[in-house]
Amino acid sequence: MKAKILDILSDLESQKNVKVLYAAESGSRAWGFPSPDSDFDCRFIFVKPMDGYLSIVESDGQIGYPVDDVLDISGWDLQKTLRLVCKCNASPFEWLQSPIVYREEAGFRDQLWTLCQEFFNPKALIFHYLGIAKGALSKTNQEGNLTVKKFFYVIRPVLAALWTQKYQTIPPMNIEPLSQLLPKELDVLLKDLITMKSNAAEGMEFKTPEVFLTYIQETMQYLEAEARKMDDRNFGHQTLDKFLRNTIEKHDH
């Protein structure tokens, strides 16, 4: 599959006249809880030639490949990516931590990751993750149960938000270090659920453990209250502007 993804990235470079700087897995395979039928979620960051940034025509800053049951490939312009870094958006923070990297311009990930640390905003990040968790939690059926996929789409962002609040750092993207925040009995149960998911279809519904639902609800309430006490952080964008200009100039040919 990696070879196919690399071929698609090369085709997109030719078709769109862009340079892929970084491409990595961003879904359940990178989060640490894949199912047998999990698709491949490749996300990439690209840069255009200088002329592409000198037009009055606005761009949405993203390109992609038609989604099917196996592959989901899309990318963001470096300019869009840096705007989101400035807002402490979790997506680029996670992409840069992926254990599955398909392509990387030498040194790009380390340079951008260093910049990300400067734009860490715990309040914004906590609310970002709580929003994801609330959205997934709303997908319960009439019996109050979730699909196995949606359960993990709740618990991982809740733990990421808790990590942010507790350690005041960008949280890991992988579930394993995050799970260490759980009480021991829930950590053991979560590992059992990861094993179950590794042998189950993504859409399988299961009796969501009441102890987890209680933990999730109480933790979300606690985090929301704690986040509201935090100050908002506003950042200048000069270092990001410089990084953008230098990268464009490097690849403008």
**Residue range 241-253: mean pLDDT, rounded:** 92
Identify the residue whose tokens are 């609310």: 127
**Residue range 178-203: mean pLDDT, rounded:** 93
- Return the bridge partners of 75, or none: 44, 63
Cα angle vertex 29, ends 25, 35, to 5°?
A: 145
Instruction: Tell me the CA distances in angstroms from 205 to 86, 165, 197, 209, one per residue in order.
Output: 38, 31, 11, 12
Identify the residue whose tokens are 């311009």: 105
Residues 14-58: tens digit of each pLDDT: 999 999 999 999 999 999 999 888 899 999 999 999 999 988 888
Q: pLDDT band for position 65 (50/70/90)? A: confident
Predicted confidence (pLDDT) at residue 140 exceeds the cutoff of 80: no
**Residue range 70-90: mean pLDDT, rounded:** 95
Q: pLDDT band for position 243 (50/70/90)? A: very high
Neighbours of 170 (CB within 10 A): 22
Alpha-carbon span 18 to 105, nearest angstrom: 13
Alpha-carbon span 172 to 168, nearest angstrom: 12
Alpha-carbon span 166 to 223, nearest angstrom: 10
Nearest to 76 by CA among 64, 62, 65: 62
Residue 118 in tokens = 């400067």
Alpha-carbon span 116 to 125, nearest angstrom: 12
Residue 97 in tokens = 């931590």
Q: CB under 8 Å to 238, separation ≥6 — which residues? A: none
Domain boundaries, the chain: 2-119+235-251, 122-228
Q: What is the DSSP letter of 51?
A: G
Predicted confidence (pLDDT) at residue 253 exceeds the cutoff of 70: no
How much of the chain exceeds pLDDT 90, in percent?
78
Predicted confidence (pLDDT) at residue 191 exceeds the cutoff of 80: yes
How much of the chain exceeds pLDDT 70, in percent?
99
Alpha-carbon span 30 to 95, nearest angstrom: 9
CATH class of 2-119+235-251: alpha beta
Quote the pLDDT of residue 216. 96
Could you tell me the pTM of the whole model? 0.93
Residue 3 in tokens = 């070879």
> How many whole angstroms from its chain centre is CA 120?
15
**Residue range 143-156: mean pLDDT, rounded:** 88
Alpha-carbon span 27 to 149, nearest angstrom: 11
Quote the pLDDT of residue 56. 84
**Beta carbons of 123 and 230 less than 8 angstroms apart:** yes
Q: Alpha-carbon dihedral of residues 103, 104, 106, 107, nearest 10 degrees?
A: -160
**Residue range 111-139: mean pLDDT, rounded:** 95
Mean confidence (pLDDT) of the chain: 93
Identify the residue whose tokens are 């899309």: 74
Dihedral sign from CA coordinates of 237, 240, 246, 250: negative
